[in-house]
Amino acid sequence: MSQFRWPPPPDGAPRYMKPRNVSPRAGRPVPPALPTELVATPHGADLERMVTGLGDPVTIFAHGLGQGIAETRVYGSAVEGRRVFFQFRGHGRSSAPDGDWTYADLARDLRAVSDLSGATRALGMSLGAGALCRLLTESPQRFERLVFILPAVLDVPRSAAARERFLALLDAVASGDVGAVATQLVAEVPKTFRNAATGWAYVRQRLDSLMRDGLSEELGALADQVAIDDREALRHVDAPALIIACQGDELHPVSIAEELAEVLPSAELHVYSRPTILWTERADLRERISAFLNQ
């Protein structure tokens, strides 16, 4: 936080910066909000959904913990056909059903929106990758093409350090302390961008969303859980899969991506050399995902 003072000024840029006639620094742009809808699912959860694009194929995008539609839109910016974005239970405007939540519940959310939207391809990011793995153990042939970005857990529990980071954002949001939430969000931004307009905009957008909609405390139970019982069940998945990981990410170890690539029969693994890839490798990531899904 030494290079990122809180709270940010109203214009979203550091107070001591006075840019004149200069282009904004490159980084992770925050997509503008678009209208969403609440979709009733057969299992009783009302889930927030947004659909962009036209025609086939239809690709569904599953977000990570504490993220949502805005954060996953970047992955589909060059993907052809219809793109379906949604919020898991406990996120955004989606409902928070009573009971103890498991990855099976997340897989049920993902399956329901996929079925209602006619999705034939799927992309899962972090938490969403775990939900996608769980769905595939139950229905190995559900999708024609698969993308897994920064998978965090398969059939072995998270490390203590990863579990602590998983819970940190939930605890901060539950506290209602804007500064505590901001601290967690700033950690997602590379130091290079923390004093750039894009860095400020990203934190402000995420902060506004989390403080407005919150995160359900039931999500905390997932920290100690595995996504699937046995990774060997994924050997029945025939669909081509792209798995993306990066070095230096404690919450998303490369070893998890390597284990996933080993059991999926038609998997391609790409490992970036540094973390925070949505900031540092955005153009390449966008091209890599679209090239794979547009085949």
Q: Which of 36, 140, 126, 120 is nearest to 75 (CA)?
A: 126
Provide block-wise average pLDDT over 10 residues at a time, the chain (295 residues). Answer: 46 38 40 83 97 97 95 95 98 94 98 98 98 98 98 96 91 94 92 90 92 94 97 98 96 97 98 94 96 97
Q: CA 220 → CA 73, 94, 178, 181, distances in Å?
A: 25, 17, 19, 16
Q: Which of 234, 289, 294 is nearest to 265 (CA)?
A: 234
Q: What is the pLDDT of residue 31?
A: 55
Q: CA 59 → CA 12, 36, 115, 220, 274, distances in Å?
A: 33, 17, 11, 28, 27
CB–CB of 201/30 below 8 Å?
A: yes
Q: Which of 63, 163, 161 is nearest to 109 (CA)?
A: 63
Q: Is the pTM of this model over 0.75?
A: yes
CB–CB of 248/277 below 8 Å?
A: no
In the block, which residue shows the tokens 């996504």?
227
Q: What is the pLDDT of residue 165?
A: 87
Ordered by where they begin, the domains of the chain are 37-158+226-293 (3.40.50.1820)
Q: CA 219 → CA 100, 105, 140, 149, 152, distances in Å?
A: 9, 11, 26, 20, 15
